Each structure stands twice: as C-alpha cells, then as structure tokens.
Chain A
Amino acid sequence: EVQLVESGGGLVQPGGSLRLSCAASGFSFSSYWMYWVRQAPGKGLVWVARIFNDGSMTNYADSVKGRFTISRDNAKNTLYLQMNSLRAEDTAVYYCTRVIVTGTPAFAYWGQGTLVTVSS
C-alpha cells in the first residue's frame, strides 16, 4: 500500500524558514517524480513544486521560485521542501503527492498534509 506521511509543519515568523519532509513507503520511491501541492485555509489547491525521480530536474510555481527548494533522498525514501523567506501568504496545508503511474500527470496518492502557519 502506497503511503505518504508529511511532517515538519508548524508556526514560523515572516521571513523565517522551515523544512518539510515526506516519508514514502509501499512503492519504488526512486522510480517516481514527486510533487508538493498546497492549500491555504478555505482556499483551493495550488501546485507548488516537482522533482524528477533522480533529482536531476526541479520545477516551481512562480509564487515560490527562488524561496523554496524541493529535494529528495532516494536512499531514505524521503521527499523534502525547504522553505525560506516565508510570507503570510505561504500559510497552507502542504501535501506530498505522487502520480498514478509514471508519465501520467494525475495525483493519485496524497499524504495527510502538514500545516504551515506564517505569522508574527
């Protein structure tokens, strides 16, 4: 069974940093591109970042480019999101997600999410 478990969320001041983790199990983690998607309280889903299976390429939403870094450790089956220069508008539940099958851009597996609150 595919499982994705996020951790690392919490309260941080504007301008601060936080690193999210996503522990993956139940599938060959090193074979899949991985993604982060976020959802502000009461708002819709927003795609945040993508990383290729070997970490060779990454993509970001314009709103986080230059501030967030997605990375992975295939030996530990873990995905990361390093978030720097955090702003109030980054407050959201952050989901780690995986596509249904390689090559089909549909998010079939989701973690439970971890809440990041940016506030003074």
Chain B
Amino acid sequence: QSALTQPASVSGSPGQSITISCIGTSSDVGAYNHVSWYQQHPGKAPKLMIYDVSNRPSGVSNRFSGSKSGNTASLTISGLQAEDEGDYYCCSYKSGSAPYVFGTGTKVTVL
C-alpha cells in the first residue's frame, strides 16, 4: 500500500496561486473519481477541502479547486492567504481490500 506522491513543500506569496500535485496509479487516482483533499493545521484534526476530485464541501472557500488528469490529481489554491499555511493531504479510493490511500503530504508556506 504505497502512499500517493506529493511534493514535500510548496510556497507562494500572498495573492498568488499555487498547485499541489498528487501522483497515484491506474489502481487508485486513475481508476476512480474519488480523490479528496485535506488541510491540517498543527495539533488539529484534518479538514476536508475537496471531494470527488473537484467538489467543495459547504463552507470551503472557492479559492480552493481540484482537478485530475490520468493518474495525477491537483489542488489549486488561488489568492493565497496567510491562513492557508498548513499541511495538505490527498486521498484516493482504490481497488483491493484496503480501499483508501493517502498522499505523503505537502507543507504549504505563505511567504
């Protein structure tokens, strides 16, 4: 059960846009439109930001958007704000008896 691959860190200045990639395989990201993204601040529980590739839960800013192409999913944060700093994880449904796999995580820094 290898984790999905994410960049260790991404940074940007306030107001800029950044994109976090999530690379999987044809058994997970490439096979299902069930990719979700989570934001986590230190010492806190994760928060769902995107589900089913590109859907935003109620209350999540429209500055967050998701997409997928082949085996790679992406999370874009537009109009970067200081409060967006934190760790971000992707997650995909997958085939097999253990049906979920998370990404390695990306630390977002607002410069």
| A interface list, Cβ under 8 A from B | 35, 37, 44-47, 50, 59-63, 95, 100, 104-108, 110-113
| B interface list, Cβ under 8 A from A | 1, 3, 34, 36, 38, 40, 45-48, 51-52, 57, 89, 91, 93, 97-105
Interface contact A110-B45, CB-CB below 8 Å: yes
Interface contact A45-B38, CB-CB below 8 Å: yes
Question: In whole angstroms, how far apart are the Cα atoms of A46 and B34 in the complex?
Answer: 17
Contacts of B48 in A (CB 8 A): 100, 106-108
Interface contact A45-B99, CB-CB below 8 Å: no
Q: How far is the CB of B91 from chain A (nearest CB, A)?
A: 7
Interface contact B89-A44, CB-CB below 8 Å: yes
Contacts of B1 in A (CB 8 A): 61-63
Interface contact A59-B52, CB-CB below 8 Å: no
Contacts of A47 in B (CB 8 A): 91, 98, 100-102
